[in-house]
Amino acid sequence: MSTAELQPNELSSCLEALDQSNDFQVLRRLKPTKAYQTAPATGKVHKVCIIDTETTGLDTQNCEIIELGYQIIEFDSQGKLYKVLAAKNFLNEPEGEITAEVTQVTGLTFTDVEGHQIPWHEVQTDLADVTLCVAHNAGFDRPVLERYEPLFVDKIWGCSVQQIDWQALTDVGSRSQEFLCWKIGQFFYDAHRALDDVQALSQLLSLEIGSNQQPALSFLLQAVRQSKIIVKATGAPFDVKDELRKRGYRWNADARVWQKMMDEQRLEEEMVWLAANSTPNPTVVKLNANDSFSVRAQ
C-alpha cells in the first residue's frame, strides 16, 4: 500500500511512530501560515519584510531580477512573529538572457517571465512603513534591490546568514537555508523560488532556538541593534591573507584591501588580533544604522 492510499488518521499514526524512533527523522512539507501566533492586546508591534530575489547571475552590479518575493509580518521587540499582512510574488522580464544554469537553479525560463514586470509602485506602498528588511543573504539581495528601487536605500536591513550564530545556538554547522530548515524546523519546501524561500525563512525565524528558547529573529534583532563598522586590514602582508579570509574578511578588489563588517563593540578584540597578525594600523569606518549590507558598506 502506498502512502497515497492511507487515510489521514493512518498516515498520522505512521508519522507519530517514526517520530518516536531514533532511527528516523520525519520532514514535513511547509504549509505557509497567515499568523504565527496571536498578537497581544497590548504592546507595540512593528512590521518586518522578509524578502528574496531570483536573478540572472551573482554579480550584484549587473545581474537582473527575474523574480521578487516578500512577506510583511507583524513582530515585536522580542522577535516574536504575529500576523502575515502581505505575501506577494512577482516575475520580471530581464533585458538579457536567462541562462541554462539559472533555469536549473530556479526553474524559471525566459518564457515564464516574458511580459512580466514588477509593479514597483505596489512594492513602495507595501513597504512604506516597514521597520526592517530581512534576507538570508542580505549582502546580495540588498545591493541588487537598491539598483531597482530607492526605498531600499534607506531601510534598515538584517541578514539571517551573518547575524545569527546558528552553530552556537543550534549546533548546526551549515548556514544553508534549506539545511537549517531540515535540521531545526524538520520541514522542506520548494527551494529557489522567491516566495517559497521567503515563507520558509519566515518559519525558520519564528522557531525558538538557543538555551533560552527564544525566536531566531530575536538574535538577529540583537545584532541589528549593534553599531556597525567596517575594518579594513590596511597594510596587511600578503602571507596573512588566508588567516584574514578564515576570520571573515573579504577582498575588496577596487580598494585592494581585505575588509569585513562587524559590531563596533568587538573592535578592541579585532585590533589585538590584527596587531598579532602583522597588521597594526587598520582603517576603521563607522557605518550608519541603515548602511549594513548596502553598497555603501562595501
Domains in the chain, please, with CATH?
Answer: 28-224 (3.30.420.10), 228-297 (3.30.70)
Q: Which amino acid is at 7?
A: Q
Could you give the CA distance from residue 201 to residue 203 in angstroms, rounded to a whole number? 5
**SS3 state at 101:** helix
| Helix (H), strand (E), coil (C) string for 131-181 | CEEEECCHHHHHHHHHHHCHHHHCCEEEECCCCCCHHHHHCCCCCCHHHHH
**SS3 state at 251:** strand
Look-up of cell digits 528558547? 213
Residues whose CB is less than 8 angstroms from the CB of residue 149 and which lie 6 or more positions away in sequence, other chains included? 120, 123, 124
Residues whose CB is less than 8 angstroms from the CB of residue 259 and which lie 6 or more positions away in sequence, other chains included? 230, 231, 232, 233, 249, 250, 252
Q: Centre a 10 Å sphere on the Cβ of residue 211 and count the other Cβ atoms it contains.
A: 7
Query: What pLDDT does residue 43 have?
Result: 80
pTM above 0.85, yes or no: yes
- Spell out the per-residue pLDDT of the chain, length 298, in tens: 455 567 767 777 787 788 787 888 889 999 999 999 988 777 899 999 999 999 999 999 999 999 999 999 999 999 999 999 999 999 999 999 999 999 999 999 999 999 999 999 999 999 999 999 999 999 999 999 999 999 999 999 999 999 999 999 999 999 999 999 999 999 999 888 999 999 999 999 999 999 999 999 999 999 999 999 999 999 999 999 999 999 999 999 889 999 999 999 999 999 999 999 999 999 999 999 899 999 888 7
CA-based nearest residue to 138, from 228, 60, 254, 251: 60
* Alpha helices (runs of H) in the chain, residue ranges in sequence order: 8-19, 100-106, 110-113, 120-127, 138-148, 166-170, 177-180, 194-206, 216-224, 241-246, 267-276
Q: Are 184 and 171 in contact (CB under 8 A)?
A: no
Handedness of CA 216, 222, 227, 232 (dihedral sign): negative
Could you give the CA distance from residue 224 to residue 159 in angstroms, rounded to a whole number? 9
Q: How many residues are present in the chain?
A: 298
- CA 136 and chain centroid, separation: 1
Q: Are 235 and 272 in contact (CB under 8 A)?
A: no
Handedness of CA 92, 98, 103, 106 (dihedral sign): negative
The backbone torsions φ and ψ at residue 222, rounded to the nearest 5 degrees and listed phi first, read -60, -40
